[in-house]
Every structure is written in structure tokens, then in C-alpha cells.
Structure 1
């Protein structure tokens, strides 16, 4: 059986390298239209707290039938992704998703073992916790990197050489991710169970390969609006495109 590490393992220093690139499609011809009226959530629900899972295993925040669908391919060890989350996530959730006009789908694009480990843990609780856990990992990315660097290259390589059913548990322990998630409601036993689910790890790795082949994802973050890949130059420009599509 092919080891998961052989698909995405990189040296520690490379795993913490900068991310970016990807979109070649320009914003020319961006869709524009009349303002879209807010779409109320069903009684007792709030679109900003509604999370559904797609057939491909990704998660969508908000109205699954929203007329404007924002998709982000993101890596949890990508600094640009962390910057975007800090700058834009609250506005996307509270202004656009809450209105029912926009849904936000986040697709994990795993670049290396630490990213895969964190991605598996964000999926370890109920699906409603996925976006909050993802946001918190990105917000604490610098501390996670510091812990990873403190492991040293030799220990990091030793962890990667472990069998599949031990590698991600050891990586989570070594980088403090086990404790990080325990503080957020994911017990050590839950974490260990999730991190030994090799089918789940393989599914995330395979999804990244599929995204590379089929959606031409070459870096993170990469964004799509209603199926159209858009050039990302920052949140203000992306927000302008969302508003031009009627979310205003």
C-alpha cells in the first residue's frame, strides 16, 4: 500500500515556505447584476451557523442554494490564507453569508504533512465546528510553526518515517496540535482516532490531486465565484466582485 507521506511529504523548511500563485484568470468580464434580496433562513436557523457537507467531502457555510457561491482552496499552513481569514472571514460570514445571498465553501488543499494533520483535526468534531476550528488554526498559525520548528529537522523526519497509523498522531503531539484542539473540545482520544483514519487522510490527499488536475489549482488561496476562477489581488477586489454579482 502506498504511504500517504510519499504523496505530500516535504522537508520541514519547505513545509513552512510561502504559498501563493494559481489564478491566471483575470477579473475582466466579472458578472454584474441587480441587487439580490436577502434570503431568510428557515425558522430557528441562522445561515451564518449553517454548515453542510458536499458530496466531495468539503464544507459549505450558509445557504446551500445561495445564488452566489464563493469557493476558496486553502492550506492551513499558508500564510496568505491566514491573512485572508483574518481580514475577510468575519465579513464574509456576518455580512454576506448571513444574508443568504452568498455561500462560502472551503476546500482543503493539503500541501504537506503538517497541513494534512491540522486539516484532519478540523474535521474531527461535528461539521458545525469545521469553520470555527479552521479559522482558529489559521489565527494561531505562527505558534504552530514555532512548535514545528522547535521539533528540528531530524525529529520531524523521524516522525514522517513512522507508519501511517502513527505519523499524524506523533506530528500533532510534537507541534502542540493535540493540546490546541483539546482546548477547543476535541479530546485526545478523539484526535488520535481521527489521525489514525488513513482512509480520511488519503481522501484529503486525493482531493488535492484532483483539484490540481481538474481545477488547475497551483497555489493557495485560490478563489472561484459561481464556478469561475477569479484573480485574487486581495479582499477588497474580491468583495467588489461579490457585490457586482448582486450581494449589495
Structure 2
């Protein structure tokens, strides 16, 4: 998992994205700590009020799956986090097939950008409306082509052309101060209310899990939280 920058580092992150370079991105991101692999039988790291967790946010939730599913999974992710990309590539497809599409769980991804480039990517994904999650999956799948290159914004623009986002719209979205503030308000609330300080962080029916979770562990957790028939 990746650790979030300190409040001081976050405050120093510029809203002007257009001079971003790979070097500047690395400096702005602060100290990002690499965690070890996910452990079997992953234990919860705490619990928060489900009612507070699901209260209205600065940006509306996009819910994948049955809204009445007995288990609610909330992921806080950063678009430049390689562990988040690994989850969406290696684990999420099975989670979606076996649990979300089957009506056993619903899934919500929320923005927790760790650096200016991740903020920009989330802003652009939000511009696509109900296609946000599909765009997030696309950006995670092609993360190496935009997040870890010398000209990340050029790479990001190139990837998003596949989703139908024109260059003019791309530049306009990155100048949207209100959207910028909303993305970061989601992040701030997660940090201050729920103690999120790294990505990925999951809340499953209010129980907090940090770092990567295997599909087997998801299965065990969901089964334990599903009411007996």
C-alpha cells in the first residue's frame, strides 16, 4: 500500500497541473511507503459507523452492484498507487463476478489521491459521469503508460482519448477549481473521519482493512458478514 503525504505536503500540492513532470510528481507525493504482500486471513484494522461512512459526500457515490446487497465494500484508492492498480487488475474481476454481480455485495470506489497527478486523473474520470468506474479501470490497466512516464499529462490525455475525452475538454476539466476541491474534500473527510492514511484502504460493512486483500480473504470476510438465511 502507499502512505498519504502529510497535511503540509498536501497543502503544497499545486492546483496547476500543466507543469507536472515525473520528477515534480515524485517530490509532491512525499514519502510513499511500500508495504509487503497481503496476508492470508486478513484482520480488520478498526471499525467505523456505517451510517457515517455512507453519509452524503462532496461527490456522489457510484455504486456497483445491488444497492440492497447485504455487504457494502468501500475502497479508498489513488490512481497512481500500484497496489490499487494490482487490486483492480488481479482481484476486482473475480470480486465483481462472484460477489457484486451475484448480489452478495455492492462496491463503491472513492477518491483518495496521494499526489497531484492522481487528483487530475480522478477529476477527468468524474467528467465521464456514470462511466467513471470504467475509466478508472482503464487508467489502472494502463497506469504505466501515464503515471510513470516523463510527461504524465501527455500520457493521461492519450489514454483518455480512448474514452472519448477531447483535448479541449481535458484541459478544461483540469482548470475546474470546484471539482478539484470536491475530489480533495472526499480525501480529507476519509482521513479526518475514518483515519484513512494509505491506499488501498477498504471498509467492509464498516470494518477497516488496509493494503491488498486476496479474493480468498474477500470471500471469507463477505461470508462472515452475510446474514444466515
Q: Deviations over 1:157-216 (max 9, x none)?
A: xxxxxxxxxxxxxx63xx321121112222223322322211000111122111111000
Unpaired segments of 5 or more residues in structure 2?
1-9, 15-22, 36-41, 48-54
Q: Which has the larger radius of gyration?
A: 1
1:203 aligns with 2:205: no
Which of 8, 17, 23 pairs up with 2:13?
Answer: 8
**RMSD of aligned residue pairs (Cα, Å):** 3.0
Alpha-carbon distance in structure 1 between the residues aligned to 2:194 and 2:176: 27
The answer to whether the 8 Å contact 1:80/1:220 transfers is: yes
The alignment partner of 1:104 has SS state of strand
2:133 corresponds to which of 131, 134, 142: 131
1:144 equivalent in structure 2:
146
TM-score with structure 1 setting the length: 0.69
Report if the CA contact (8 A) 1:73-1:107 is conserved: yes
1:1-52 deviation line (CA, Å, top 9, x unaligned): xxxx84535942243974567xxx934999xxxxxxxxxxxxxxxxxxxxxx
Tell me: CA distance 1:92–1:17, structure 2 relative to 1, closer, same or farther (3 Å): farther
* Secondary structure of residue in 2 paired with 1:138: helix
CA change 1:17–1:180 in 2 (3 A) is: farther
Question: 1:99 is paired with a residue of what secondary structure?
Answer: coil
Question: What are structure 1's unaligned runs of at least 5 residues?
Answer: 31-53, 152-170
Q: Shift in Å at residue 232 of structure 1?
A: 4.4
Give 3-state SS (helix, strand or coil) of 2:181's partner: helix
Q: What is the number of residues matched between the two proteins?
A: 195
Q: 1:241 aligns with which of 205, 212, 221?
A: 221
2:80–2:143: 8 Å Cα contact kept in structure 1? yes
